Chains A and B, each alone.
Chain A
Amino acid sequence: SQQGEEDPQALSIQEGENATMNCSYKTSINNLQWYRQNSGRGLVHLILIRSNEREKHSGRLRVTLDTSKKSSSLLITASRAADTASYFCATAGGTSYGKLTFGQGTILTVHP
């Protein structure tokens, strides 16, 4: 079963706009991770946020985590056409041996 639910399923924006993707999960976690997948390729790690953290930044990416609401969001600022990809959140439980449970993903399209 899928741990995470991502919203929206698809997002279409213009270059320069911000893109926000949301992820909700059901059980307690050790950390939550965001990955990007370009068409026909493997997943690439973006950001890992631990359960005791509330916000992390990496370049144009900002991730928030609200453990009380069991939700996370990924914000991409000043989007570029090259950001077009699928974005997945994944959760790792406390004693999970690093096993990840993925959401269904958000397909982001950035128009030039």
Chain B
Amino acid sequence: NAGVTQTPKFRVLKTGQSMTLLCAQDMNHEYMYWYRQDPGMGLRLIHYSVGEGTTAKGEVPDGYNVSRLKKQNFLLGLESAAPSQTSVYFCASTPTSNQPQHFGDGTRLSIL
């Protein structure tokens, strides 16, 4: 039982390049979230989804897009990467809105 799996684990991009981060969960959870973690700032919510086919903006959505075409997958896209998007990205899922979240191990993204 893998839980929440994030790919890739590490990536280095050049400014202006695009990429997609993949989050997959095998727990049949309805809710999924993308956070970013910067030094000294805790985690901030980028986008979230309350079910297959739905997405919504979080606290820091600018420069990112998401899709949830399948219930088990939540994709985070950077269309034109900027150095300010250098961060560690975490995906999380939960079965209902009132239960704890399960986190992946993160994607470490550096943009030069």
Contact residues of A with B, CB < 8 Å? 1-2, 4, 30-31, 33, 35, 40-45, 48, 88, 90, 92, 96-105
Q: Contacts A45-B102, A48-B99 known; A104 to B40 CB distance under 8 Å?
A: yes
Task: Judge if B74 is at the interface, Cβ distance under 8 Å.
Answer: no
Residue of A nearest to B104 (CB): A42
Q: Give the distance in Å from the alpha carbon of A37 to the alpha carbon of B97 in the complex.
A: 22
Q: Contacts A42-B90, A42-B106, A43-B90 known; A98 to B42 CB distance under 8 Å?
A: no
Q: Across the interface, do B31 and A105 meet the contact criterion of CB distance under 8 Å?
A: no
Q: Across the interface, do A98 and B31 meet the contact criterion of CB distance under 8 Å?
A: yes
Q: Give the distance in Å from the alpha carbon of A96 to the alpha carbon of B50 in the complex.
A: 11
Q: Across the interface, do B101 and A45 meet the contact criterion of CB distance under 8 Å?
A: yes
Q: Across the interface, do A48 and B100 meet the contact criterion of CB distance under 8 Å?
A: yes
As a 0/1 sequence over residues 31 to 70 of chain B, the CB contacts with chain A under 8 angstroms (1 = contact) are 1010100001111110010100000101100000000000
Q: Give the distance in Å from the alpha carbon of A31 to the alpha carbon of B106 in the complex.
A: 25
State the interface size on chain B (CB cutoff 8 A): 29
Q: Across the interface, do B56 and A97 meet the contact criterion of CB distance under 8 Å?
A: yes
Residue of B nearest to A50 (CB): B98
| Of the residues A42, A44, A99, contact of B33 by C-beta under 8 Å | A99
Residues of B within 8 A of A40 (CB): 105-106
CB distance from B15 to the nearest CB of A (A): 26
Residues of A within 8 A of B44 (CB): 102
Q: Give the distance in Å from the alpha carbon of A43 to the alpha carbon of B103 in the complex.
A: 6
Q: Across the interface, do A99 and B58 meet the contact criterion of CB distance under 8 Å?
A: yes
14 CB contacts below 8 A, A to B, read A41-B105, A42-B90, A42-B106, A43-B43, A43-B90, A48-B100, A88-B42, A92-B97, A96-B97, A97-B31, A97-B48, A99-B58, A102-B35, A104-B42
| Of the residues B33, B48, B100, contact of A45 by C-beta under 8 Å | B100
CB distance from B3 to the nearest CB of A (A): 9
